[in-house]
Chain A
Amino acid sequence: MEKIIKIKDLITEYDGRRILDGITLDIKENEVFIILGGSGCGKTTLLKHIIGLLKPVSGSIEVFDQEIVGMEEEDLDEILMKCGVLFQNGALLNSLSVGENVAIPLEQHSNLDRELINRIIETKLNLVELAHAMYLSPAELSGGMKKRAALARAIALDPLILFCDEPSAGLDPITSKAIDDLLLQLKRQLNMTIVVVTHELASIHRIADRIVFLDQGKALFVGTLKEALASDIKEIREFFTVGRFE
């Protein structure tokens, strides 16, 4: 499989404090890659660097073989149009209905007519089982519905890479599994590469192909889930055993 994202020696600081310390990893095409670690270890910060929302102190990030560190905003937009991002709290625009939220990227980045856009919105909402919520305001949705609506918006342009920041956080196990199943469906049917930030063990077991384990800004481990489970690195062993039901 081809490497779709390449990160080398990534260092970032905030107020003189090192948040990411020399991260090096590759993400391959059509895999579910999990960014894993305890709270405050730099998972979301790493994700925000990959999508160009934050700029590192040093290091390199290549997405689709293009260096995005220091890239012009217009060029970065071209890359971002091939990516979808599901934010932790959904980040739906509350002043718009759910359908209108999903329509935003289609209206802004295509010349499709209204009928075609409506068809795409309907299929995307149907895919996340939110057809009935098309005309509702995000404020009227539950937490799980918000996540699914945000997922529909994130895949509106059929991205090649889908980034998900804690897709299962705060959700019940059934809704959480439904979202995981959806991610797997997107990977399988549409060949999407999916990068997920999470620390939900059940979710990791269901969807992970490979993982990176972050601890205090360092990548302690990069490899498959099977390798991670067999790892003798103390932090990783602790992470996978503490959350397990005895």
Chain B
Amino acid sequence: MNSFEFKKDTLVLKDELTIINAEAFLNFVSANISSIKKENKFSIDLANLRTIDSAGVAAIDQVIDSLKKSSIETKITNASEKVQNSLTAFSSLELTGKDFVKPRKLGYFEGLGDKGFNFFDNVKYFIYLAADMFFWGVVGIFSKKGQRKGEFVVQSNLIGVNALPIVGLISFLVGFILSLQSAQQLRSFGANIFIVDLIAISMTREMGPLMTAIILAGRSGSAIASEIATMKISEELDALKTMALNPIKYVVLPKLYAMTIATPLLTIFADIIGIMGGFLIGITYLKLSPTAFVDRMAHVMVLKDIITSVVKSFVFAWLITIVGVFFGLRAKGGAGGVGRSTTASVVTAIFMVIVADSILGLLFY
């Protein structure tokens, strides 16, 4: 049986009007709205209504408001004390839109200007941060005051030692695939031995540093950004400041030093493992002798290749760390803010590594 019915100019509600039947009540009223509108006055009789919740009150208010627009005044009658209590507590009739302050949306040009200001503000902050990190990075070598003891070793382990398996595996596969794709072409020209030139130079000058940096940006850059973002949001960085500790020295420096040491070492490791991938293709698919491969490598590789690899890796290490710290420190909000900073740090670090790689590639060409 329905809990609501019309009797002349009165809507009679029975039993209960709750979140379960509020929608059905509104549908019932809207189906019969034309008969209500014929009358000038209208009342809702709640004598037999036992239970009403906030959804029920909201539904009645919605009906009252919609009839008010057609200049029909609605009266609520015979509400029990319990129902009246709910009506009083949850009525939205007295609320006006003014109570709920909606933030003003920026116009197109305002938004554009705002983005421009934010961008320059971020660039300025990034430059200051990089300068700060460089300054404390140098000073910190000579003065250990304000740094956390033993943290450098912990970070070196996390950033360097723990990354060895993934850097090794990916570098081997890159060297292997690079050689495999080139081998077919070289063999058709009888230039099998040149696989050594290709793999040795491309791994040391390009793929080794780049792949290592991309792995570290995803692995360590994201960890740096999320850790610092969490620390910022939970006011841990403020707590350090109040203890007269510089967060850059206490939190960032161990990570920066660990990245500075670990990245070149991982890059050299990646170079060697990548070349081993090429070596495998050389001696199996191209039938080169191991001695010929090693002889040729000694002949084609020059010191500049190694220096290029190491210099690139230093630059990438600093870029990844600065970007991670930057996005960590700029984090706002709660858990969502940490997620956004981490994502932004990985994307930006990879982008900046590739841009820096292009510039360094031109410089060392």
Contacts and interface: CB of A to CB of B under 8 A. Distances in A.
Nearest to B336: A95
A123 B62 CA distance: 13
A13 to B, nearest CB: 30
Nearest to B334: A94
Interface residues of B, number: 33
B23 A126 contact: no
B92 interface: yes
Contact-size category for A = 20 to 34
A158 interface: yes
A209 to B, nearest CB: 18
Highest count of chain A CB atoms <10 Å: which of B23, B88, B100 = B100
A124 interface: yes
Given A120-B58, A131-B95, A95 B19 contact: no
Interface stretch (A41-49, A107-115, A169-177): A107-115
Interface string A89-114: 00001110000000000100111110
A230 interface: no
A189 B89 CA distance: 7
B102 A135 contact: yes
B182 to A, nearest CB: 48
B141 interface: no
A134 to B, nearest CB: 5
Say what secondary structure dominates the interface of chain B. Answer: helix
Interface in A135-185: 135-139, 157-158, 185
A163 B89 CA distance: 20
Contacts of B53: 158
A116 interface: yes
B121 to A, nearest CB: 19
B99 interface: yes
Contact of A190 (B19, B85, B333): B85
A190 B84 CA distance: 10
A24 interface: no
Given A131-B99, A131-B100, A110 B334 contact: no
A112 B62 CA distance: 12
A88 interface: no
B149 interface: no
A211 B211 CA distance: 63
Nearest to A138: B334
Given A112-B19, A119-B58, A132-B100, A185 B89 contact: yes
B144 to A, nearest CB: 36
A131 B99 CA distance: 6
A129 to B, nearest CB: 10
A116 B99 contact: no
B54 interface: yes
Given A112-B19, A116-B59, A119-B92, 6 more contacts: A94-B334, A94-B335, A112-B55, A113-B26, A116-B62, A124-B54
Say what secondary structure dominates the interface of chain A. Answer: helix
Contacts of B336: 93-95
A127 interface: yes
A111 B334 CA distance: 30
A191 interface: yes
B54 to A, nearest CB: 5
Contacts of A137: 333
Contacts of A185: 89
Contacts of A136: 103
Contacts of A139: 332-334, 337
A126 B335 contact: no
A87 to B, nearest CB: 14
Given A123-B54, A139-B337, A112 B103 contact: no
B19 A157 contact: yes
B244 interface: no
A123 B23 contact: no
Contacts of B305: none
Nearest to B337: A94
Contact of B23 (A109, A112, A189): A112
Contact of A111 (B23, B82, B101, B335): B23
B246 interface: no
Contacts of B332: 139
Contacts of A126: 92, 95, 99
Contacts of B192: none
B23 A190 contact: no
B96 to A, nearest CB: 10
Nearest to A115: B62
A200 interface: no
Interface in B85-113: 85-86, 88-92, 95, 99-103
A127 B22 CA distance: 21
Contacts of A119: 58, 61-62, 92
